[in-house]
Amino acid sequence: MLAATARDTLILDLEDAIVRGSDDKRTEALRRIADLFFAGAEAYDEQQIALFDDVIGRLAGAIEDAARAELAVRIAPVENAPPRLIRQLANDESIEVAGPVLSQSPRLTDDDLIDVARTKSQAHLLAISERDAISPPVTDVLVARGDRGVMHSVTANTAARFSNAGLASLVERSDEDEALQMAIGRRRDLPPQLFRTLIATATQAVQKRLLAVANPRDAREVQRVLATVADRIGAAVAPQRRDYTAARHTVEELRARNALSEARLQAFASKAMVDELVVALAVMTGVPLDVAERVMLGTRPDPVLILGKAAGFAWPTVRALVLARPAGSTMVPAALERALAHFESLSLQTAQRVVRFWQVRRDSVTVAAE
């Protein structure tokens, strides 16, 4: 038991330090009181811990950041640390103070962590994402509020547990973030349906790596998933049943004169002649007209990259096609740079395999048959 004389001495030291002491005196008082706590922490009962909670908590609010940070580092891993003090430190605006407690303290409850995650900075969220155990209610908030760094950290943390809604949000937020897509794909708790969604929305480079990670020994399963992905990409936008009569006539004349070329595609693109582009792509790549239409009218550039790579088109041609799409008018330079990187990393073999699936779609109508 903490003797009454020791308790009285603590209180007197505290009052003297707070009322009349300098910063150095308050810091020294905190160290002495903290040392007393750490010396017998395992043996103290809840009443004694409550006394330290009051004494140290009052001093912690009256000292500089550096001293609070020192206290936080020492007290964060203590199993029976004063709970109010721990919450006080966890909510400190200084991440040097809050960080050690948020990432380590077993005294923090889910409610404590959720409150911090909802109200504090991204640095605070990042500290929470590094804990040895994180429950779904906490990760839900991290996913909802966290920036890219928090997303990567909590996803890579194998001790973090997610709700299905949290995992679905992670997959949605991973769009155009290859590193995050890979981290999500490696999680063993990712449900099969979300893994398929992840593959369908991932870049081609990530698709290849994720499929290898998912089932590296079963080539037939890999091909089945790839076929599903290819079909989903090709069907990303519902067919619009446009009238291609005039466009078909133009393209057929060009083909008859052996004038259907990449240069012609670029010319169509420069004039925003989307119908002619759709028909020309169908003729030049051998895919059904409805697939070519979906490729050009889709919201993502990936299908264009696949078709262009499989056909052997140069980047200037593919770039023109990407920008000629209705969705291309809103592409920012950074998105175009990512498209170039994806196009360059996409293997010819993979692209041709995907296009072969498009070419044999039974529910499609070919150009020649129309």
Dihedral sign, CA of 191, 193, 196, 200? Answer: negative
Using only the alpha carbons of the chain, give its radius of gyration. 31
Residue 214: per-residue pLDDT? 62
What is the distance between the alpha carbons of residues 85 and 96, in angstroms, rounded to a whole number?
A: 16
Average pLDDT over residues 275-301: 90
**CA nearest neighbour of 180 among 141, 216, 229, 143:** 143
What is the distance between the alpha carbons of residues 312 and 273, in angstroms, rounded to a whole number?
A: 22
Residue 345: per-residue pLDDT? 83
pLDDT classification of 64: cutoffs 50, 70, 90: confident
pLDDT tens for each residue of 241-260: 578 899 999 999 999 999 99
Q: Amino acid identity of 91? A: N
Residue 1: per-residue pLDDT? 45
pLDDT classification of 219: cutoffs 50, 70, 90: very low
Q: Is residue 17 scored above 80 in pLDDT?
A: no
pTM for the whole structure: 0.60
Average pLDDT over residues 105-120: 97
DSSP H/E element including 128: helix 122-128
Contact 325, 273 (CB under 8 A): no
Residue 241: per-residue pLDDT? 58
**CA nearest neighbour of 101 among 87, 121, 117, 122:** 87
Q: Is residue 21 scored above 60 in pLDDT?
A: no
DSSP H/E element including 60: helix 46-60
Assigned token pair, 324: 């000629």
Q: φ and ψ at 134, to 5 degrees?
A: -135, 125
Average pLDDT over residues 199-210: 74
Averaging pLDDT over each range in 25-39, 111-125, 343-357, which range is the top one? 111-125
Specify the 3-state DSSP secondary structure of 81: coil
Tally the C-alpha atoms within 13 A of residue 66's C-alpha that lie toward its C-beta: 5
Residue 326: per-residue pLDDT? 84
